[in-house]
Amino acid sequence: MTLLGTGDTTGTPTVGCDCDTCERARDRDLERTRFSVYVANERTDESLLIDFSPDFRSQFLREDVLLPDAGIVTHVHFDHLDGLGNAFRVFDALPVYAANETDPETGRSVAETVREDYHYLETLDVRPTTPFEPARICGFDVTLVPVDHPPLLCYGLAIEDPETGAKLSVSGDTSYAVPERSRDVLADPDLLLADAIVPAHLCEYHPIGGRHEDEDGVPRTFGTKHMTREGALALAENLEADRTRLVHVAHYYPADEAFEEPLAVDGEEYVL
């Protein structure tokens, strides 16, 4: 598994930003581009892409990995979907899996939005997928689970190798209010990738602050849409993850916290 993109919607460094965190990233030649994860199955020689980052092209050139055999779209925000245009003239065929539940906010499912927004991609084969029902993709059992990313529907996912039992769980963009039934599917991963957009102490700068406080009053959700670092770590503990990397990380982390463990940077590779 390769972390192609570990940043939030503006990435780090952020264009036009000279904050200490962006400067340190430039100095150390580190990047957090927009979110995307590449999962290769060595057994079947196939690979699966989670989310189509606007940085798709530079990510694939940088990591020098093969084009994926299939993709998944977790939700329809820019930073997870709008890289799909990069598929134009690049793929002969590209199955893309996305949830089939109608989002009251858009009146369409994620699968329908993908199909309509990219109707000009003739190689695209959108596969509407039922949450909580495992789908066999690239030799893995992949299960989409609803998370909490208002106002849009968004999904986390569990990817398991049916032969080895290896398991990767991805929180998706979510607040700490991940439903219990979804937690049950995500539980006990070898590796968890968890949305941790900012540290909890930055909640005071959000117009509506933090939510889902722990017993010490520390907010586990930043605003309404994303987990804090503390929330992501609490989720990891709750899911009993063997290993956790924090992703969807914003440049708002103070420079002395932004590159500390277990915050991920682009290019990290893991074998499960």
Using CB under 5 A as the criterion, which residues of the chain lie in contact with Zn ion when the complex forms?
Answer: 14, 17, 19, 22, 77, 79, 173, 251
Q: Token pair 């503990």 is at which residue?
A: 237
Least distance between Zn ion and beta carbon 144 (Å)? 15
Tokens found for residue 202 = 């930055």
Q: Which is nearer to Zn ion, 177 or 272 (CB)?
A: 177
Q: How far is the CB of 101 from Zn ion (least distance, A)?
A: 16
Residues near 132 by Cβ (< 8 Å), separated by ≥ 6? 143, 144, 145, 181, 185
- DSSP secondary structure letter of residue 122: T
The residue whose two tokens read 């990591």 is 63
For Zn ion, the closer CB: 77 or 229: 77
When the beta carbons of 22 and 40 are compared against Zn ion, the nearer one is: 22
> Residue 12 is encoded by which pair of tokens?
């780090």
Give whichever of 143 and 174 is closer to Zn ion, judged by the CB atom: 174
- 195 vs 235: CA distance, rounded Å: 10
Question: Which amino acid is present at 142?
Answer: V
> Please, what is the minimum distance in Å from the beta carbon of residue 22 to Zn ion?
3
Amino acid code (one letter) for 95: P
Nearest distance from C-beta of residue 93 to Zn ion, angstroms: 27
Q: Cβ of 186: how many Cβ atoms within 10 Å? A: 26
In whole angstroms, the minimum distance from the beta carbon of 248 to Zn ion comes to 6
Q: Cβ 78 to Zn ion, closest distance in Å?
A: 8
Q: Assess whether the previous peptide bond of 146 is cis (omega < 30° from 0).
A: no
Nearer to Zn ion, 79 or 112 (CB): 79
Residues in contact with 42: Cβ distance below 8 Å, sequence separation at least 6, in sequence order: none
Nearest CB to Zn ion, comparing residues 41 and 106:
106
